[in-house]
Amino acid sequence: MATAYINTPLGSAKLEGDENGLTYVTVLETDEPESKIIPEDLEDAVYQLNEYFEGKRQNFDLLLNPEGTEFQKKVWAALLEIPFGKTISYLELSKSLGDVKAIRAVASANGKNPLWIIIPCHRVIGSDGSLTGYAGGLHRKKWLLNHESPSKQQTLF
């Protein structure tokens, strides 16, 4: 399994994968030095993530190989259908998977997403529009949603 570290506006990120695809991307709570040499199996992921953060990429075209249960993989596949710049609620996500009563299981699977940003779990919000639950921290979720917003607001400060 190849590993690389990159710097992002939200902190250091760790990537893991091999010839079968990208298995893991997460933001770290500690700063790690950026990898000087990127393993070949991770080059596309690093390139595409950098483009995303530069505002040049809205969709990823990568071979993915996340580890999880069949249910988790079903939820993660549904997350991949949420368009850039859009959000849906956990309730809407549960409905799209065919079981409104599975909302807690769907939220749990969402929280276990091993491919930060690539599988856009940050695009799922509370039914009331609140930024609920995000393993990377709500400040990062807010940043990501603002980064993807079609109407960039200017700040006064």
**Residue 115 catalytic?**
no
The answer to the question of residue 96 being in a domain is: yes
Whole-model pTM: value is 0.91
Beta carbons of 116 and 13 less than 8 angstroms apart? yes
- Is the pLDDT at 141 greater than 80? The verdict is yes
In a domain, 61, yes or no: no
Count of the separate structural domains present in the chain: 2
- How buried is 92 (Cβ within 10 angstroms: 0-12 exposed, 13-18 middle, 19+ buried)? middle
Do 41 and 92 reside in the same domain of the chain?
Answer: no
Q: Are residues 75 and 47 in the same domain?
A: no
Region 119-143: what's the mean pLDDT? 90
Is there a domain that residue 32 lies in? yes
Is residue 58 in a domain?
no
CATH code of residue 105: 1.10.10.10
Q: Are residues 49 and 97 in the same domain?
A: no
Same domain, 80 and 135: yes
Per this entry, what is the length of the chain? 157
Q: What is the pLDDT of residue 122?
A: 95
Parent domain of 38: 2-53
Q: Average pLDDT for residues 10-39, to the nearest whole number?
A: 96
Would the CA dihedral through 36, 27, 44, 53 be positive or negative?
negative
If DSSP codes are grouped into helix, strand and coil, which group holds residue 108?
Answer: helix
Start-to-end CA span in the chain (Å): 44
Catalytic residue among 25, 121, 124, 125: 121
**Does 144 map to a domain?**
yes
148 close to 84: Cβ distance less than 8 angstroms: yes
Q: Which residues have a Cβ under 8 Å from the Cβ of 99 and sit 6 or more positions away?
A: none
Q: List pLDDT tens digits, range 48-92.
A: 999 999 999 999 999 999 999 999 999 999 999 999 999 999 999
- Answer yes or no: do 142 and 81 share one domain: yes
- Asked whether residue 86 is assigned to any structural domain, the reply reads yes
Dist CA 29 CA 11 (whole Å): 7
Same domain (yes/no): 46, 100: no
Q: How confident is the model at residue 153 (pLDDT cuts 50, 70, 90)?
A: low
